[in-house]
C-alpha cells in the first residue's frame, strides 16, 4: 500500500510573514554594514592624508637649504613655491629686535599642488640655535674642497742640501781653504720654502720647492722639488686647506690659475701655532698672485685671537706681495645663522584648509625639526 506524499507548499500568508521577519532582522544588519563601510572609507581617507603629510615632511627635510633669503620682513622657501604653495603671512620673532627669525605660513590648495587634500606648512626659524652667537667653522667637503697636507717635504729638502754641502766640503778637503760642513740646524735656518698653488677648471695642485742660501757648495738658484702636498682632479673647488708647520721666518706662496678660473678661498692652518707664538713671532707668509690671478679670500689662525683663550692673539702675518692683509678671517667665527628650522605640516579636507573653520576639517598635523 502506497504512502500518500505531502506535496503541499507554503501558503501566501506564510511567505509574507517570513519575508517580514527577515526584513526586521536585516535592517539592523544593513545599518551595521553601512556604518562599517562609511567608517572604513573615513579611516582610509585619514590614512591617505597621514601618508601625504609624512611624505611632504620628508620632502621638505630632504632639501639641502630649505630656507632662503631670510630678512626682517620674511623668508622664502623655493621648494614650496615651486610646488604651488602661496605664502599666507609672516610673524617675526620680535619686531623690535635685530635678530632675524620668525614663522612663515604657506597654503597649498589641493588642485594647485596636485593632491586630493589641502595642505598648510609653517616654517619657523625662531629657535635658540639661530638667534645665538655660535662658532662658525668652514667644514671640509671632499667633493668641493682640496686639503694640502705637509708631511716630510722639509726633511727631504734638508737631507738633500746637507748631502750637497757634505759632498762639496769633501771635494774641497785638500784645498787651501776647504768648504765648511754645516749642521742641519744651520742649513735649516737658510732654507727658503715656496708653496705653489695651481688652479685649473678641473684640476688643483699644491706643490712646494726649496732653495738654500748661504750654504757652501749649494747653488742659491737651485730648486729642490718636494713631493706634492695635494693633487686633485676636481671642479668648482670652494676651499683649499693648507695644513702646514712654520719652520722659518718667512714662507712664500705663488698662485697660478687658468684664464677665467677664480682661485678658491684659502684656509691657512698653522699646525704649530704655539711655536709661532714663542719662536717665530715675526713670521710672515707672503702670497703672490701670478699674472691673471686675483687674490682670493683668506682665513687663518695666524694673527687671530686664540680659540682656546680669546685674550691671546696669535702671532704671524699674511701679506700680499708688499703689504699686509687686513681682511683675514678667523678660522672660528661667532655668528648668527640659520642652523635649525622647525616645520609643521597640516593636511585638511579639499578646499577647507584656508577657511575660518579649517580646524574642523583637519586630518593630521606632523611637526619636525630640520638642520640647515
**117 and 47, same structural domain?**
yes
Query: Quick one: 328 and 356 in the same domain?
Result: no
Query: Do 121 and 165 belong together in one domain?
Result: no
pLDDT band at residue 16 under the 50/70/90 scheme: confident
Q: Which residues contact 163 (CB under 8 A, 6 or more apart)?
A: none
**Residues 43 and 177 occupy one common structural domain:** no
In a domain, 2, yes or no: no
Do the domain assignments include residue 65?
yes
Instruction: Write the pLDDT tens digit of every residue in 207-229.
Output: 999 999 999 999 999 999 998 99
- Residue 3's pLDDT band (boundaries 50, 70, 90)? low
Per-residue confidence (pLDDT) for residue 310, from 0 to 100 = 74
Number of structural domains found in the chain = 2
Q: Is residue 364 part of a domain?
A: yes
Asked if residue 1 has pLDDT above 70, the reply is: no
C-alpha 283/C-alpha 146 separation (Å) is: 25
List the single range of 26-35, 61-70, 259-268 with lowest mean pLDDT.
Answer: 26-35
Q: What is the DSSP letter of 264?
A: P
pLDDT at 94 > cutoff 70: no
- In a domain? residue 1: no
pLDDT at 5 over 50: yes
Q: Are residues 33 and 179 in the same domain?
A: no
Q: Are 312 and 331 in the same domain? A: yes
Q: Render pLDDT for 67-82 as a digit per residue (tens, 0 to 9).
A: 888 777 788 899 999 9
Q: What is the CA radius of gyration of the chain?
A: 38
Domain that includes residue 183, residue range: 138-335
Do 270 and 357 belong to one domain? no
Whole-prediction pTM value? 0.55
Task: Say if residue 228 is in the same domain as residue 180.
Answer: yes
Q: What's the confidence (pLDDT) of residue 138?
A: 55
pLDDT at 267: 93
Residues 214 and 303 in one domain: yes
- In the chain, the percentage of residues whose pLDDT exceeds 70 is 87
| Residues 117 and 142 grouped into a single domain | no
Quick: pLDDT tens for 122-180.
998 877 666 655 445 556 788 889 999 888 889 999 999 999 999 999 999 888 889 99
Average model confidence (pLDDT) for the chain? 86
Q: Kindly state whether residue 64 falls inside one of the protein's structural domains.
A: yes
How many whole angstroms separate alpha carbon 160 and alpha carbon 162?
6
**26 located within any domain:** yes
Neighbours of 103 (CB within 10 A): 18
Residue 165 maps to a domain: yes
**Predicted pLDDT of residue 336:** 62
The DSSP string of 304-327 is: SB-SS-TT-B---EEEETTEE-S-
Say yes or no: 190 and 313 in one domain. Answer: yes
DSSP annotation of 361 = G
Q: Are residues 39 and 173 in the same domain?
A: no
Output the pLDDT for position 135.
46
In the structure grid, which three cell numbers stand for residue 183, read together?
A: 749642521
Number of Cα atoms under 13 Å in the Cβ half of residue 188:
11
Mean local confidence (pLDDT), 340-359: 91
pLDDT over 90, % of the chain: 52
Amino acid at each position: 500500500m502506497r504512502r500518500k506524499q505531502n506535496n503541499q507548499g507554503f501558503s501566501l500568508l506564510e511567505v509574507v510573514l517570513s519575508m517580514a521577519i527577515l526584513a526586521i532582522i536585516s535592517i539592523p544588519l544593513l545599518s551595521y554594514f553601512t556604518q562599517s563601510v562609511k567608517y572604513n572609507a573615513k579611516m582610509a581617507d585619514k590614512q591617505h592624508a597621514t601618508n601625504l603629510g609624512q611624505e611632504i615632511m620628508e620632502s621638505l627635510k630632504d632639501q639641502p637649504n630649505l630656507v632662503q633669503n631670510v630678512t626682517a620682513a620674511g623668508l622664502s622657501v623655493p621648494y614650496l613655491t615651486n610646488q604651488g604653495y602661496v605664502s599666507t603671512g609672516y610673524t617675526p620673532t620680535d619686531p623690535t629686535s635685530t635678530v632675524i627669525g620668525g614663522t612663515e605660513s604657506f597654503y597649498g590648495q589641493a588642485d594647485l599642488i596636485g593632491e586630493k587634500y589641502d595642505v598648510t606648512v609653517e616654517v619657523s626659524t625662531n629657535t635658540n640655535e639661530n638667534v645665538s652667537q655660535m662658532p662658525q667653522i668652514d667644514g671640509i667637503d671632499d667633493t668641493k674642497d682640496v686639503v694640502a697636507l705637509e708631511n716630510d717635504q722639509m726633511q727631504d729638502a734638508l737631507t738633500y742640501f746637507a748631502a750637497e754641502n757634505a759632498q762639496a766640503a769633501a771635494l774641497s778637503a785638500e784645498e787651501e781653504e776647504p768648504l765648511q760642513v754645516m749642521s742641519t740646524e744651520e742649513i735649516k735656518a737658510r732654507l727658503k720654502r715656496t708653496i705653489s698653488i695651481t688652479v685649473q677648471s678641473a684640476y688643483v695642485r699644491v706643490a712646494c720647492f726649496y732653495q738654500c742660501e748661504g750654504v757652501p757648495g749649494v747653488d742659491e738658484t737651485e730648486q729642490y722639488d718636494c713631493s706634492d702636498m695635494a693633487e686633485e682632479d676636481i671642479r668648482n673647488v670652494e676651499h683649499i686647506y693648507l695644513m702646514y708647520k712654520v719652520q722659518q721666518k718667512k714662507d712664500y706662496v705663488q698662485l697660478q690659475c687658468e684664464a677665467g678660473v677664480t682661485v678658491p678661498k684659502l684656509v691657512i692652518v698653522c699646525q704649530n701655532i704655539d711655536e709661532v707664538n714663542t719662536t717665530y713671532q715675526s713670521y710672515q707668509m707672503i702670497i703672490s698672485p701670478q699674472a691673471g690671478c686675483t687674490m682670493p679670500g683668506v682665513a687663518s689662525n695666524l694673527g687671530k685671537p686664540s680659540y682656546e683663550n680669546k685674550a691671546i692673539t696669535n702671532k704671524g702675518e699674511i701679506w700680499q706681495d708688499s703689504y699686509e692683509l687686513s681682511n683675514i678671517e678667523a678660522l672660528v667665527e661667532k655668528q648668527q645663522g640659520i642652523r635649525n628650522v622647525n616645520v609643521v605640516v597640516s593636511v585638511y579636507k579639499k578646499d577647507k584648509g584656508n577657511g575660518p573653520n579649517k580646524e574642523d576639517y583637519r586630518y593630521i598635523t606632523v611637526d619636525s625639526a630640520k638642520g640647515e
